[in-house]
Amino acid sequence: MTATRPVTAHAAPRSTDPVVPAPDAAPNGPGRPTFPAPLRWQWSRFGALLPGDLYAALALRQRVFVVEQQCTFVDADGADEQAYHLLGWQPQADATGRIPLIAYLRLVDPGVKFAEPSIGRVITAPDARGRGLGRALMQEGLAGAARCFPGRDVRIAAQQRLERFYADLGFVTASAPYLEDGIPHVDMLRGA
């Protein structure tokens, strides 16, 4: 089951928790499948996330990283409070009248996980894969990184099986492979 939210208006975020404006959708590139309608992107700082939005993000993270990938790890790693969260909501309500969260990533402030700003917890809901959403999610994430941290390189700790995907987005491998939570990873860096 996909994490969902009721169709309701959002309260304005506090000024101490900025919401970064985002375009409706990023292009998928030539030859890439497209989602039938653009996602509704929501950029929020941790403190500005409504409880339902936070629940949807954490539920999707658990569904993919813990259940699907069969990886027991501490997801609440202390970095969420020092990050922007990008939520990609399905553009229309499903049969239950709820708006599903189908894509998510977090953009962690510089100095928290790495010296550079870093993108992590990149997820597309299993039932929404194969439509180019992962690429659109990363393109929106990189655009947000450029707005929030202009002129800064971006680092990721990528699952090694996705190294080519991230290389196609301009990332260069910056480490030897290593195991993180039992899954092969590599650090990758994308110049500003």
**From first to last of its 192 residues, what are the pLDDT tens digits of the chain?**
445 443 333 332 222 333 333 333 333 344 434 455 689 999 999 999 999 999 999 999 999 988 888 888 878 899 999 999 999 999 888 889 999 999 999 999 999 999 999 999 999 999 999 999 999 999 999 999 999 999 999 999 999 999 999 999 999 999 999 999 889 999 999 999
Q: Domain 4-151, what fold?
A: Aminopeptidase (3.40.630)
CA distances from 105 to 29, 44, 53, 118, 128 (A): 20, 11, 13, 10, 15
Tell me, yes or no, if the pTM score tops 0.85: no
Domain ranges for the chain: 4-151
Is the Cβ–Cβ distance between 52 and 3 less than 8 Å? no
Amino acid at 163: E
pLDDT value, residue 37 = 63
SS3 call for 71: coil
